[in-house]
């Protein structure tokens, strides 16, 4: 029996699991595999060098799945600022129905997309930002705890608090993002009031993820302590796999006397990180990973993974139900 949450119903998916936008990873191979397995696959717009190449990737994804998929548009500091509006225009022209936005000042892009009636999942790391985004008319908030990979924000609040704060404060339905890899996590997220989960690192370690096998094996071997927080000095804190490149970047960050971003820029360059995924030299550049890296022990297909998550979540919910026995209550309250 498929799940029925606000997320599955609005997006037309069967399992409330979204594959979050990941730089260099959100390509048609992965997005279509996630969607074919019943979740929501997402293409990463900025992984494509131009809006026109995003158009091609969207069309390619359509040939690989008949199910809904989305596009991620992340608005954060970059070494080469992209034309976000042009990427969003392609999304609208190609008839994509779902977009995951993330980052700073999403108002112009959200307004542009909402005019085309696109469903927006906006990712944020604080309740304050979530409330601002809900005023823009986003359909779902993706609440990203400090455990997450990539841009963790500057307030360091983990999901046990953040999700409950979301449940208390938000009028817009939300998903839980950061720290999720299995169905136990999905059941916990639903218990805390979320409509589903968003996973990145877990999907990097699937058969269909377009990253080198060495990266997948490194994730399988890693522990939850193997991530590093870099770029805090520039208020753009990013959780990375703790490799040589991340450690070198951190050293520059700590020792720089000027505090100028250009000193650290060569160490954190996305293009160098991309080489890691292509060539499998784990230390060549930085790449993002969440604390959830410590939970991942295998490299399944997306279908196996999503099927397992569904089964684990349903079993967990049933097990918890059994903890309550019918009959007269012992409580005097
Ligand atoms: P990039 O090579 O342009 O930059 C490398 C890193 O430095 C990124 O973390 C970026 O945010 C940061 N950075 C760049 N200029 C900065 C500045 N002036 N001050 C502080 N930090 C600065 O990055 P990329 O890999 O080509 O990616 C392009 C953009 O898309 C980045 O902002 C990236 O973080 C973002 N993105 C993130 C995700 C995600 O899932 N976390 C997904 C898609 C895109």
Which residue is closest in CA terms to ligand 1's atom 27? 270
Percent of residues, the chain, with pLDDT higher than 70: 98
Q: How far is the CA of 151 from the centre of ligand 1 (A)?
A: 9
Which residue is closest in CA terms to ligand 1's atom 15? 78
Mutate to test the pocket of ligand 1, among 23, 267, 273 (most ligand atoms within 8 A of CB): 23
Q: Supply the pLDDT for residue 327.
A: 67
Least confident of 2-16, 86-100, 244-258, 315-329: 315-329
Q: How far is the CA of 108 from the centre of ligand 1 (A)?
A: 19
Check if 21 has its Cβ closer than 6 Å to any atom of ligand 1: yes
Beta bridge partners of 70: 42, 98
Is the pLDDT at 331 greater than 80, yes or no? no
Q: pLDDT for 2-47, tens place per residue? A: 799 999 999 999 999 999 999 999 999 999 999 999 999 999 999 9
Which residue is closest in CA terms to ligand 1's atom 25? 270
Q: Specify whether the CB–CB gap between 61 and 36 falls below 8 A.
A: no
CA distance 26 to 286: 17
Helix (H) or strand (E) holding 293: none
Check if 46 has its Cβ closer than 6 Å to any atom of ligand 1: yes
Pairing outcome for strands 238-241 and 227-230? antiparallel
Q: Specify whether the CB–CB gap between 36 and 303 falls below 8 A.
A: yes
CA distance 45 to 58: 10
Where are the domains positioned within the chain? 6-210+298-319, 227-279
- What is the CATH class of 6-210+298-319? alpha beta
Check if 49 has its Cβ closer than 6 Å to any atom of ligand 1: no
**Locus of tokens 């307030």:** 155
Which residue is closest in CA terms to ligand 1's atom 18? 77
pTM of the entire predicted model: 0.95
Percent of residues, the chain, with pLDDT higher than 90: 94
Here the tokens at position 300 are: 């399944």
Q: Specify whether the CB–CB gap between 21 and 102 falls below 8 A.
A: yes
Check if 101 has its Cβ closer than 6 Å to any atom of ligand 1: no
The ligand 1 atom at the shortest distance from the C-alpha of residue 270 is: 25
Q: pLDDT for 117-174, tens place per residue? A: 999 999 999 999 999 999 999 999 999 999 999 999 999 999 999 999 999 999 999 9
CA distance 93 to 279: 34
The ligand 1 atom at the shortest distance from the C-alpha of residue 264 is: 7
Check if 300 has its Cβ closer than 6 Å to any atom of ligand 1: no
For residue 151, the number of C-alpha atoms closer than 13 Å in the C-beta half-sphere is 21
């Amino acid at each position: 029996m498929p799940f029925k949450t606000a997320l599955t119903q609005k997006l037309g998916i069967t399992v409330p699991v979204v594959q979050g936008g990941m730089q260099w990873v959100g390509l048609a191979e992965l997005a279509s595999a996630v969607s074919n397995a019943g979740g929501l696959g997402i293409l990463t717009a900025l992984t494509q060098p131009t809006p026109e190449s995003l158009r091609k990737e969207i069309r390619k994804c359509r040939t690989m799945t008949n199910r809904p998929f989305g596009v991620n548009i992340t608005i954060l500091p970059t070494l080469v600022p992209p034309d976000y509006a042009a990427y969003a225009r392609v999304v609208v022209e190609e008839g994509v129905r779902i977009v995951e936005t993330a980052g700073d000042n999403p108002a112009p892009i959200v307004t542009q997309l909402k005019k085309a009636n696109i469903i927006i999942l906006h990712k944020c790391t604080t309740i304050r930002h979530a409330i601002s985004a809900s005023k823009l008319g986003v359909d779902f908030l993706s609440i990203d705890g400090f455990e997450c990979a990539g841009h963790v924000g500057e307030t360091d609040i983990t999901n046990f608090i953040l999700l409950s704060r979301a449940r208390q404060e938000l009028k817009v339905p939300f998903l839980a993002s950061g720290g999720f890899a299995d169905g136990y996590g999905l059941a916990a997220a639903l218990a805390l009031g979320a409509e589903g989960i968003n996973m990145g690192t877990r999907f990097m370690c699937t058969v269909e993820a377009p990253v080198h096998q060495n990266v997948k094996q490194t994730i399988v071997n890693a522990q939850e302590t193997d991530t590093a927080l870099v770029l805090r000095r520039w208020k753009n804190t990013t959780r990375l796999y703790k490799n040589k490149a991340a450690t070198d970047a951190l050293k520059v960050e700590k020792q720089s006397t000027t505090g100028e971003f250009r000193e650290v820029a060569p160490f954190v360059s996305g293009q160098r990180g991309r080489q890691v995924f292509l060539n499998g030299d784990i230390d060549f550049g930085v790449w993002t990973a969440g604390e959830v890296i410590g939970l991942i022990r295998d490299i399944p297909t997306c279908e196996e993974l999503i099927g397992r998550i569904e089964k684990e979540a349903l079993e967990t919910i049933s097990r918890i139900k059994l903890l309550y026995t019918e009959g007269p209550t012992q409580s005097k309250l």
